[in-house]
Structure 1
Amino acid sequence: MNFATVVALVVVVVVLVVLIWVVSAYNTFVRLRNLIQEAWRQIDVELHRRHDLIPNLIETVKGYAAHESGVFEAVSQARAAAIQPGSTPAQQAAQENNLTQALGRLFAVAEAYPQLRATENFVALQHELTNTEDRIAAGRRFYNANVRELNTKVETFPANIVAGMFHFSRAEYFEVTDPAVRAAPVVDFGQGNA
């Protein structure tokens, strides 16, 4: 083999290695994008389930506290805003936070009516809503983990070159901004009453 042949072989090998790496990086970005879309669709299913439970919850509470129409209207408006399609994850998170706050006011109203809290329908709806909230939280963790992985790939060298070439960009997190959710729990063992 002469020197020109060796150089040509080295160039071909280097080009093949780079090409294989580019294809691999591209496929990784596609896989991550698809995982994020799948995770978002699962969150969307659970959000729709949550939204479907709310009218029944409002009607149940209305039977005991009909004079609390402002609270019912606030929950209905927050629900209507939350079910609007086409929102980004950040916009959806803000709408869901508003809905959570409105539901908190509804449950505060329910606390004033012991007969309501004792009804099977209310207890079942509250339990179902709690289970749905847990599934949303699990879905949010899975979604955000995939977003973190994609965002890290998009920002790190040399994968960011492939991301730029094929227009892969950062994804948005689905984050809770409700201060009540983010606040540290307060533990009181009754010592402040002494």
Structure 2
Amino acid sequence: MEIALGFVVVLVCFITWMYNRLVRARNYALDAWSGIGVQLTKRHDLIPLLANVVKSYAKHETDLLVRTTELRAPNISDDTQKTEQREQSFGKQLNQIVVLAEDYPEIKADQNFQRLQDNLVAVEGDIESARRYYNGAVRDLNVLVESFPSNLIARQFSFESRKFFELELPAMRATPLIKLS
């Protein structure tokens, strides 16, 4: 009887401990996702400022600016894949604005544009850091949800694996331009 009672107590303690680990891992992942949302919002807030500077120099490029501004509304949801797709499109549009600025030396010389471009580079670095933190938190959660014996408790209490957030920035795929002058 005492052995059975001891076994039940140990089992309850183990289940409680594992459940709390799963809750902690899930909350870290949710917190990290929130951090990505903050960084993406900062990125999106730079767009009207960049668009206004470019618009003042490149009046005939309004179509690109309008499309980019339309994509800027950050709608961070729990759907990692939708957010990835939207941010991939947004990043391509944003890259086109920066490339457009290359065609207009007066834009590149504008101090407001330079400051905004520097801010954008800093925000992209912050997004990368937030993405790495999120993916680490998701990795830890997924290990708990998918490995034995925690997977038994995870399944019982409806814990689910999350998808990693892969945000490929257009600049990462671009071939670097080397000027030998």
TM above 0.5, yes or no, is: yes
Change (3 A) 1:64 1:135: same
How far the C-alpha of 1:173 sits from its partner, in A, is 1.4
Q: 1 CA distance for matches of 2:66 and 2:174? A: 30
* Number of residues of Structure 1 aligned to a counterpart in Structure 2: 180
Q: Which runs of 5+ in 2 are unaligned?
A: none
Q: 2 CA distance for matches of 1:168 and 1:48? A: 28
Q: Which runs of structure 2 are paired with 1:173-184 in the superposition (5 Å)?
A: 173-178=164-169, 180-181=171-172, 183=173
Residue 100, structure 1, aligned to residue 91, structure 2: yes
Deviations 1:8-34 (A, max 9, x none): 111111111111110011000110111
Which residue identity does 2:55 align to in structure 1? K
Q: 1 CA distance for matches of 2:9 and 2:42? A: 50
Q: Which runs of structure 2 are paired with 1:23-172 in the superposition (5 Å)?
A: 23-80=16-73, 83-86=74-77, 88-172=79-163
TM-score (norm 1): 0.86
Aligned 8 A contact 2:95 2:170 in 1: no
Q: 1 CA distance for matches of 2:174 and 2:93? A: 21
Which residue identity does 1:88 align to in structure 2? D
Aligned 8 A contact 2:154 2:160 in 1: yes
Deviations 1:106-158 (A, max 9, x none): 11110011111111100000011111111110000000001011111111111
* 4+ long deviations beyond 2 Å: 84-87, 177-181, 183-190
How far the C-alpha of 1:84 sits from its partner, in A, is 2.7
Q: 1 CA distance for matches of 2:3 and 2:156? A: 25
Q: Which runs of structure 2 are paired with 1:1-16 in the superposition (5 Å)?
A: 8-16=1-9
Q: 1 CA distance for matches of 2:176 and 2:97? A: 23
Aligned-pair identity in percent equals: 35
TM-score (norm 2): 0.92
Backbone CA RMSD of aligned residues? 2.0
Aligned 8 A contact 2:91 2:170 in 1: no
Aligned 8 A contact 2:92 2:170 in 1: no
Which residue identity does 2:154 align to in structure 1? A
Change (3 A) 1:77 1:142: same
Change (3 A) 1:175 1:34: same
Aligned 8 A contact 1:94 1:177 in 2: no
Q: Which runs of 5+ in 1 are unaligned?
A: 1-7
Query: Residue 21 of structure 1 aligns with which residue?
Result: 14
Change (3 A) 1:168 1:13: same
